[in-house]
Structures are given as structure tokens and as C-alpha cells.
Amino acid sequence: MKPAKRAALVLGAATLLVTGLFVATNAYAANLLSNPGFESGNLSGWSCTGSGSGVVSTPVHSGSYALNGNATTSDTAQCTQTVTVQPNTAYTLSGWVRGSYVYIGVTGGASTWTPGASAYTKLTVPFTTTAGQTSIQVYLHGWYGTGAYQADDIALDGPGTPPTTTPPTTSSPSPSRSASASPSASPSKSPSTSPTTPVTGIPKHALIGYNHASFANGSGYIRMADIPAAWDVIDLAFGEPTSVTSGDIRFNRCSAAECPNVESDAEFLAAIKAKQAQGKKVLISIGGQNGQVQLTTTAARDAFVNSVSAIIDRWGLDGLDIDFEGHSLYLNAGDSDFRNPTTPVVVNLISALKSLKAKYGTKFVLTMAPETFFVQLGYQFYGGTTQGDNRAGSYLPVIHAVRDFLTILHVQDYNSGPIWGLDNQYHTMGGADFHIAMTDMMKAGFPVANTGQTFPGLRPDQIAFGVPAAVSAGNGYVSNAVVQSAVTCLVTGSGCGGYTLRGGTSPAFRGLMTWSINWDKYYNWEFQNAQRPYLNTLP
């Protein structure tokens, strides 16, 4: 998950009073949630999963009680509550949490999490409802196999009235991270079914980076002309939808107010052409953390194709990067065959990508940057079955359907919880082992949870992996030497530690992706200066 891109702008009540628009019925309630501090001594108002989840008298943040969720290897101990809200309105969800990998958010919308809090820590999620939206479902949960977590003093601030009924007992999808128990089947090497010749013009071992073209995010804006020649593929972040389900993607360049050194449109376009003349590829990246894209209808699919085409044509781009996160992709109950998906958001995305490929032909560059939750977690859980989160492994049908023209898959090896690898062991961020195990899964292929099907591995030239460029760029940062150690193992088979490559060595391994070029510049180009020369030494 990419870091949040911009701060929310909140209009205070004083402004409304001055303009004479203040309406008493829209005054902010103290808290729209029922039983927000669990002071009833039970889970009244909340719908919770997980054996052993309930209320406790210690530790609490305030009052007499707090929630205690018991996250097991098969359940994240999720608690939800449905609340009536007003359309096109700003709200703030917050709560105090304690434990490892605790999440809080809005189903289908914004979320946040902490990888570990030994004492109560406050998490805050600002968001704005969509046009016509009259209710939301808030959630909080732990993570698979991490044990107990606590939560207290959950608040939803904004116009409205607290619900008067208990939310339904059905649980919702939850934010992404990792794994669970191993399936009984032993994975084996699966040959790729993709015969297509790779897109020309990208080096055998490429350096891929995201450029904050529409925001600054604390790291500063970089003019396109100032991006060094070391970068082979430049992803413009981000194209975002006008609403979650519209399919209408817009790319708005950073404003001068946020990015004082932003270039003009003419200069930006000229710099893109200059990069392409040097053999670089420039793509529009769709989604990111804030850009939820759900193609629930064929109308949304068609809007996606038309609007993305307009962006590509306007700036003369080489293709697109799919960076769908959060709740963009999921699988409906019973959609358990990744080879023949039936869920509309998946089917329509596949159709849209095939349409764009048909329109732009053989030179069309398509990359993807899913989180591990949406890909490798499919080894343990698959969203269309009855186990786990319905988003688990939900990229797999998309990857499989477009594998013949997928240029590069660079999974985000960051902001991830533990993931079960092909050695039937958990792998966690922080060392070369995580990158080796996660990338090997994409080369070797793997059985998909309890479906009886095997996801075939990709060609090595289609495989890269993503890492944070610097400590401020995301969870999971490791030194450049550790990244190189992982790549050396994958390419040559040496220095793999105790891990055995199930997919064999990959001399054609495509390269490294990083979030982001901007953060790398902020840290004096440490990533670029280490990795570009290293990639050049590979066979």
C-alpha cells in the first residue's frame, strides 16, 4: 500500500456560520457509533468474528471495558458496525488499539493500521462519503495468527445520528496483509503458459520507479525532465476514479500550491517525449492507496477503457500500471476457479485490459503492482471460497487472464504481514528471505488454497519485485545490500541461505521496482546509485 498522498481539507463550523450555511440538524454528533467504548460490558452494537473475541476489563484505554479480539490462523477477529451517514460529507473514524497488526477502516474505503503497538495507540482515518451514499460499515481487526489485540474508544465523528439497531452479523472484507495454515498439497514447479515475446525496449534488468506526478507527499516534486536516466520505467502516480464505481479515471497533475516547482503541461509533455526518445517507458499508474476502483458494471468497464485511453493519448504514454489496492478487487462467494472468474469487478477489469491491449497493439506496456495479500496469500486462502477475506488472492484471475501480454508483475514486498511460502514456512519482511520466497512463488507457481487448482508460474522476464526506496517510503525497508542478496539468489542460485528455489534460477529476472523516485531523491539517490550499477552486472 502506498503512503497517503495528501492531507484532507476540513471546513470548520465557524466557516459555515460566517457564510450563513450552518444547519442545526447537521451539527457534528459526539460519536455516531453505538457502544464505542464497549462500556456495556459486551459486544452490543458490534458484529464480531473469532473464537474467544469479547470484552475485557484490562487492559483498557479508558472506562471499565475494551474489546479483545482473538486473531487465529484462520480468522482476523474482525468487528464491524453499520452506521447511517450523509452523502458527499467528510467524516473521521478513529480508535485506540493495542497489539500486533491492528487495522481500522471503512469497508470499500479508507483504512489504516499499525504493525505493532505495545501500548494503546490512536489510529485515525479521515474520509468522505460518495454521492448518494447513506450508510457505511466500519471495521477493526487483527491479523492471521498474531493472537490477541485490544481496541477501545472507537469514534466516528461527522453529521448524523447514531444507529438504533445492531448491525447485521455478516462480516465484511478487511484491509490487506498476510497468511495462515499451510495446505496439504506440496507445491511443485509449474511451467509458464505464456509464449509471447517480451515487449522490446525495456532492458533485460530494469529499474522501475513511481513518480509523484499528482502530489508531493512530503518528499517533494520532481520535474519529469529532472528524473535521471537510470530509471527505465517511470510510473506516473496516480490516475484516480471520479468515484469508486464510476470507472472514470482522471489524471490531475500536481498543483502549484502543493508543488511550487511543477512544470507546465507543455514542458511535462516534452519531457515525456524526451524520455521515450532515450528508450524509457512512461506509464500511467491507476489506483494507489486512495484510488479505489471497482468496475462493478459494463458501463464502468467502458468508462475505464475510454478514460484511460484519453490519458494515454493526451500524454503519449506507453501503457499503464495497475496498482489496485484496498477493496478494488474481491471475489464473490462461490467464485473459486481463478481460471474462470465470475465476479464483475474481476471480469470487467480483465475485459478492459484486453480492450486496451487490442487498441494499442504489441508495443503496449502493462505492469501490475499488487500487494502480497492479493497474490501470494492465495496459496493459503482464496477469496471465492469460504475461508478468510474475500479479497485474498483476488489478483490471480487477472494475472492469469492477461499473462500473454503482461509485461511485468512487480509485487509490493512491503507493507505486508507474514506470508506462507512454498517451503510451508512463514516469511516476514526485514530480510532477503522474504523477497526470495515471495518472488520464487511467482516463478514456480503454486496450488491455490483449497480449490484443487494450481496457478502456473510466470516467465522470469515478467517478474520483478518492489521495495521501498528509503526508510520513510513504507514498511519493509531493507538495505540495498539485502535487496541485492535476494536478487543474486533468484538470478544465480547463490546466497539463498536456507531457502531452496522451487522455480529454479532466473537469469532473465526483470528487475526492481521501488516506491518511489521522489523518496529516492529525498535520500540523495541511495537506491538508484546502488541498484542501477548492480543490475548492470547481472548476466
Q: Any idea which residues carry the catalytic annotation?
A: 325
CA distance 414 to 410: 11
Do you know the residue count of the chain?
539
Among the listed residues 349, 476, 375, the one whose alpha carbon sits nearest the alpha carbon of residue 3: 476
- For residue 91, what is the enclosing H or E element? strand 90-99
In the DSSP assignment, the letter for residue 290 is T
Task: Quote the cell numbers at residue 333.
Answer: 462467494
Inter-CA distances, 74 with 145, 152, 312, 347, 396, Å: 7, 24, 42, 28, 20
CA distance 160 to 169: 23
Indicate the residue type of 17: L
Inter-CA distances, 96 with 105, 327, 419, 480, Å: 13, 23, 26, 35
DSSP line for 130-153: PTT--EEEEEEE--TT-EEEEEEE
CA distance 436 to 489: 7
Name 128's Cβ contacts closer than 8 Å, sequence gap at least 6: 8, 88, 89, 90, 91
CA distance 2 to 214: 14
Instruction: State residue 49 phi and psi, 5-degree precision.
Output: -110, 170
Instruction: State residue 225 phi and psi, 5-degree precision.
Output: -65, -20
CA distance 263 to 315: 14
Task: Quote the cell numbers at residue 302.
Answer: 467502458
**3-class secondary-structure state, position 287:** strand
Name 64's Cβ contacts closer than 8 Å, sequence gap at least 6: 39, 41, 57
How many other C-beta atoms lie within 10 A of the C-beta of residue 34? 17
CA distance 302 to 20: 42
Q: Are 505 and 491 in contact (CB under 8 A)?
A: yes
CA distance 267 to 289: 28
Inter-CA distances, 325 with 8, 111, 218, 370, Å: 20, 11, 21, 7
Buried b (16+ CB within 10 A) or exposed e, 396-409: bbbbbbbbebbbbb
Q: Are 144 and 295 in contact (CB under 8 A)?
A: no
Among the listed residues 515, 466, 532, 526, the one whose alpha carbon sits nearest the alpha carbon of residue 212: 515
DSSP line for 298-316: HHHHHHHHHHHHHHHHHHT
Task: Quote the cell numbers at residue 261.
Answer: 516547482
